[in-house]
Amino acid sequence: MTRIKPGLVMEYGDKSVKSEKLYLYQGFDPSNANVTKNVVDLRMQMGAISQRDADLLFLWKRVSHNFSFVFVDFYLCSSIHDIGLSILRAVRSSGRALIDDWECLKSMVWVFESRCGSLTQSGI
């Protein structure tokens, strides 16, 4: 029996690299996602791995990359919280305005809300 059309192993299993993009097979398009350019370290030893492992490796890289930003956001939010508490504990004399620089306050609130989520009416 002769094969008319080559199988997937013959099509994608050789050592040459196809020009098609990987995301076509993994269900996500980097043109509409916030991703950095895929840089391959040519010194890295490359070997054959199963397709299941390739999918898991791709997803693991995406999760671990995004997870590092969670720690940055947590650190920023907790720092602003600590600074805010120390500022609120400072007592101003009677009759003075609570805020000296409204533009500074508005920009600080904007930075906080863009990184930590919007404030409610109660300010929490």
* Residue 115 one-letter amino acid: R
23 in Cβ contact with 29 (< 8 Å): yes
pLDDT tens readout for residues 64-119: 766 666 677 777 778 877 787 777 777 777 777 778 888 998 998 888 888 888 87
* Domain positions in the chain: 8-116
Candidates 118, 119, 115; CA nearest to 69 is 115
* Residue 65 one-letter amino acid: H
Enter the pTM of the model: 0.26
Burial 101-118 (b: 16+ CB within 10 A, else e): eeeeeeeeeeebeeeeee
